Structure 1
Amino acid sequence: MPETDLELLISAAQAAGDIATRYNGQSAKTWHKPDDAGPVTEADLAVNEMLEDTLRKARPDYGWLSEESQDNMDRQQTDKVFIIDPIDGTRSFIEGSDTWAHALAVVEKGVVTAAVIYLPRREKLYSAAQGGGAQLNGARVGTASRDEMEGARVLVARPAMAPELWKDTPPEFDRGYRPSLAYRTALVAQGRFDAMLTLRPTWEWDVAAGDLILREAGAATSDRHGAPLRFNNPDPRLAGVVAANPILKHKICAALAPTDKAQ
């Protein structure tokens, strides 16, 4: 019997972890992408090559969008597309940290239908299929219920708390941070934090998997303006991301200034 998309993503993510953990991030060959787009290592490229070969052979009619592959607009002609970040948190990987992740998603007509975020060094595998709930290592997870901004535990970079980005005084969040956007989404889905937000233009591959895992855990997600997240866009960048339980998410979006200045 053919494996489901989620089963395929879980198997591929575990294989990605096997490859990535063979490398020592501090000694892996590293290059810097053009236009100050960040570093990439030989591990990123090895994982990407395996994932593209494995996933596209298994689903040859699906499109492909990955941080480490040349974008091809043929993906716009397919109903379903893989959206992949081979290693999310490459800087953490290079530093020898364990907070980097593999982020894999299947998107159908703009909506994520299967997703995996895997942190092999932490032995954490978050997963979700549309309508099936969100899981961490096979156990159901759910988002936190706090609905007040003051004192909420929020994963957010310091620049996003600049006063000009908020209508009034920035909320007094209990602020946390993780380098990997995928891991931030997973921690909110797990209920470890109440919310996460990023106000910078955000690459789809950083948050596609987390979008479904969050929603299946009971969270609401949107861009910084409150619009639903849609994926496989011609320009694969979103206007930031805000995620929390529905009440808290609405309050955060309502408190943000209607500005195009992104942090």
Structure 2
Amino acid sequence: MPAADLPLLTDAARIAGRVATSFAGPVARAWDKPGGAGPVTEADLAVNDVLMSTLRTARPDYGWLSEETEDSTHRLDRDTVFIIDPIDGTRSFVEGSRTWAISIAVAHQGRVTAAAVYLPLRDKLYAAGLGTGATLNGASLRACAAPMSPASKVLAARPNFEPANWQGAAPQVDRHYRPSLAYRLSLVGEGRFDGMLTLRPSWEWDIAAGALIVSEAGGTITDRTGAPLLFNNPHPTLNGVVAAGDSLHSALLGRLEQQSA
């Protein structure tokens, strides 16, 4: 399945990138979603439309889960599902930054089997197939295996390191931030950063593609309790995410206060 789906995803990502970059970030029409769900732009919707047309035409029997499509229980009846974030990092897009990504994954019976994360303005295409490894622009990736230290470069928003989230003091690491969760995960797979974490409930479309890139690059990724990530849930969220090399992952997980979602 990955061998058949991965070229479809990478081609679709590049098509979507051309659509997204045809909109000028700060000029693109933007508005807030209801219920405080964050911003959306005309570019998000245009990318969603082209991905839906491209991917569902090629795989009409697959289900569909996207941030920008009204969810339906129909996907729960499908063994295989597309999981899409048309523009991950919409605020970054609106600001005119280059650090936003198109995230595309295929999950089969809850497990991601093929993934692509594309940053058009940085010309970075991350890809992974289950059992076939992870790549960046065709070059193989390997996650860092270093143990935790004050020099460990960890991608996380500042609130994740509030003392209440940790047993005792928060670990001393070199914290960094990028606005796109898919990109954060891809950077861990690339080995440019040692780990990433987000402790609040996370939407599947933000995580699915990057999760396979991490694991196929030799990293470890779980929810905040250490449980494996499963996708295409009735309510498509995960109980946080911790991703890193084995040693750092174990160290971070061992220090976390375990709270239910």
Shorter-chain TM-score: which interval?
over 0.9
Which residue number in structure 2 is paired with residue 25 of structure 1?
25
Which residue number in structure 1 is paired with residue 35 of structure 2?
35
Deviation at 1:145, TM superposition (A): 1.5
TM-score normalised by the chain length of structure 1: 0.97
243-252 or 199-208: bigger deviation: 243-252
117-126 or 3-12: bigger deviation: 3-12
CA contact (8 A) 1:145 1:245 kept: yes
Aligned residue identity for 2:252: I
Which residue number in structure 1 is paired with residue 209 of structure 2?
209
Deviation at 1:150, TM superposition (A): 3.2
Separation in structure 2 between the aligned mates of residue 222 and residue 61 of structure 1, nearest angstrom: 29
Q: Secondary structure at the match of 2:104?
A: strand
Q: Secondary structure at the match of 1:4?
A: helix
Kindly tell me the number of residue pairs found equivalent between the two proteins.
Answer: 259
Which residue number in structure 2 is paired with residue 44 of structure 1?
44
CA contact (8 A) 2:102 2:117 kept: yes
Separation in structure 2 between the aligned mates of residue 178 and residue 57 of structure 1, nearest angstrom: 33
CA contact (8 A) 1:32 1:40 kept: yes
Separation in structure 2 between the aligned mates of residue 76 and residue 259 of structure 1, nearest angstrom: 27
Identity over aligned pairs, percent: 57
Separation in structure 1 between the aligned mates of residue 148 and residue 39 of structure 2, nearest angstrom: 37
Separation in structure 2 between the aligned mates of residue 215 and residue 150 of structure 1, nearest angstrom: 24
Separation in structure 2 between the aligned mates of residue 153 and residue 11 of structure 1, nearest angstrom: 32
Separation in structure 2 between the aligned mates of residue 102 and residue 237 of structure 1, nearest angstrom: 19
CA contact (8 A) 1:26 1:95 kept: yes
CA RMSD after TM alignment: 1.0
Aligned residue identity for 1:214: V
Deviation at 1:94, TM superposition (A): 0.2
Which residue number in structure 2 is paired with residue 164 of structure 1?
164
Aligned residue identity for 1:99: T
Structure 2: 5+ residue stretches without partners: none
Deviation at 1:149, TM superposition (A): 4.2
Determine if the alignment matches structure 1 residue 253 to structure 2 residue 253. Answer: yes
Large movers: runs of 4+ above 2 Å: none
Separation in structure 2 between the aligned mates of residue 132 and residue 200 of structure 1, nearest angstrom: 31
Deviation at 1:255, TM superposition (A): 0.5
242-251 or 58-67: bigger deviation: 242-251
Structure 1: 5+ residue stretches without partners: none
Which residue number in structure 2 is paired with residue 228 of structure 1?
228
Which residue number in structure 2 is paired with residue 9 of structure 1?
9
CA contact (8 A) 2:105 2:113 kept: yes
